[in-house]
Amino acid sequence: MDAVAHIQAGQPTSTPWRYRLDEMAWRDLVEGLKHDSLPFVGLWCDGTDIHALFMPHDMQPLGATLALESGRYPALSPARPVSSFYERMIFDLYGAEAMWGTDVRPLVDHDVWQNSMPLASVPGAAGDNKGMVAAQPSDAMQAASGTAMGSGPATGGYETPLHVAMVCEGETIRHAETVSGYAHRGMAQRWHKCRVDDANRLSGRYDAGCSAAHQAAFCQAVEHACGQQVGHEVSQLRLVVLELERVTQHLFTLATLARQAGARLVASRCMWLRESLLAKAAPVIGSRLMMDHSVPGGVNLRDTASMGTLCEQIADLAEEIYPPLVTLWQSYPGLSARLAGLAVVESTLLERVGLDGPVARAGGGECDYRRAMRAYEGLWHFNGGRHNGTLEDRAAILLDEVGESLRIIKALGPRLGLSAGGRIELTYEDGEGTGLAEGPWGAVLYWVRLKNGRVDQVFMRNPAYSALMAFEAVLPGQNVADIGLIRTSLGVSAAALDG
């Protein structure tokens, strides 16, 4: 029996794609997943039950639910390593223990909160450490020999706070692991019993560089829970914002990589194109930020009727600036040599950590969810040409995706402006729904449960945990001076990690 059959053999729930399992069936599922490639989305808790979400290859969600027994449940991490991050977060917030988990260290609660297990029915006592965060190293870290070093959480740079603990031999990293939690904002509690529009605003502030993707996925989940679907032009208006966000975020990442590699002229040209695009878009979209433009049931744009014209203007601007930028990137003295061969993310690592997005595509992975989205029919046909998984390959993929997204925006222009887009009225009845968007760093998925006209609970999946696992895995053997380059190229974000 495969993993899908294991789940579907459970007791049906009021949600057609979610099934309730008993503990023995859950254990059988964990064993089955060790030999099954069923894509894992995430794991979360609501205080009473544990929920695991999977995305079979037909892109239809499939969920499994298990009731907590004495605050415990069998861990999924022996079968899906990235699940250890979800298990650690669940314990920190709810006190629910993952039996046989592969990593039981705290993730975001480092003994400084006013209450431990703050979302449990009976929260725990306050942490004893009132000063600096108390980090707990792994057994492998304690066993490693060499000079102990650290980077972050405060570096004076633009990156979000994350501590990287290392054991080094000279300037070469021999072992590394991270300590997160510095950017924890209590998003799970903030979403609970929140008004739907307020919850949508919160989702747009989860990870600043991916605001449009988060809100598009959240809105789809709410619409799915309500049994409603927005019109085709509303979907395509959302695509313009999503693709513009991808372009601006990739250009920002490329500029950061170029600056860290010493290619300041290349960095300035990347930011020039980014600023030129935002200057064109802001008067029509309503903001330089790709935030709060997707709302449940529709879109929120200053001048919807001009979106088609905006797409044409962006295409004209891109034809003028983008090709010289590609030439400059590829020919700038020393840039390629600086990035070549650094931090290789191999296909076996991608499979183990479940990473998608441009990092996986640079390693030969076929993992762009846009290909399966109906709104992208006739628009998406990109296939990355890089497969070696180096930092240079990741930068090249980002640069290629800028061009591909600009082409999609150009193709969307003639399709827009035929109607005002509009917003459908949603009736917030009790229900559950999921929504998916391809963000700048990979898939962003939301599960939303509505109850009594409000948001009862939200689960959000993004590539952050998988990216962090890849980051830790590729650091051994790298030079300490390259940590910033490697982190930037993998899209590691503490805000996306900590919730």
Q: Are 103 and 82 in contact (CB under 8 A)?
A: no
User: Binning pLDDT at 50, 70 and 90, where does residue 130 land?
Assistant: low
What mean pLDDT is reported for the chain?
Answer: 92
CA-wise closest residue to 329 among 420, 402, 233 = 402
CA distance 154 to 179: 12
d(CA 115, CA 125): 5
Contact yes or no for 462/203 (Cβ under 8 A): no
Per-residue model confidence (pLDDT) at position 160:
78
Query: Which pLDDT score is estimated for 132?
Result: 56
- With 0-12 CB in 10 A as exposed, 13-18 as middle and 19+ as buried, what is 292? middle
Cis peptide before 153 (omega within 30 of 0): yes
The pLDDT of residue 418? 60
Q: Output the pTM of the full model.
A: 0.95
Q: What is the pLDDT of residue 268?
A: 98
From 155-169, 194-208, 264-278, the region with the lowest mean pLDDT: 155-169
| Whole-number Cα distances in Å, 220 to 89, 334, 441, 447 | 25, 45, 19, 10
Provide the 8-state DSSP code for 35: T
418-470 pLDDT tens trace: 666 678 889 999 999 999 999 999 999 999 999 999 999 999 999 999 999 99
Q: Do 485 and 260 contact (CB within 8 A), yes or no?
A: yes
- Per-residue b or e along 227-239, where b marks 16 or more CB atoms closer than 10 Å to that residue's CB: eeebeebbbbbbb
Residues near 37 by Cβ (< 8 Å), separated by ≥ 6? none
Distances (CA, A) of 38 to 28, 31, 32, 354, 374: 14, 13, 10, 11, 22
Task: Name the 3-class secondary structure at 410.
Answer: helix
| Helix extents (H) in 340-432 | 347-353, 358-362, 391-412
How many Å apart are CA 194 and CA 198, to the nearest integer?
A: 6
Res. 128 pLDDT band, cuts 50 70 90: low
Q: Are 439 and 304 in contact (CB under 8 A)?
A: no
What are the tokens at 280? 């064109």
Q: Is the pLDDT of residue 415 over 90?
A: no
- Look at the block and give the residue holding tokens 């300590």: 179
Whether residue 256 is predicted with pLDDT greater than 60 in this model: the reply is yes
The string of pLDDT tens digits covering residues 380-413 is 876 666 788 999 999 999 999 999 999 999 999 9
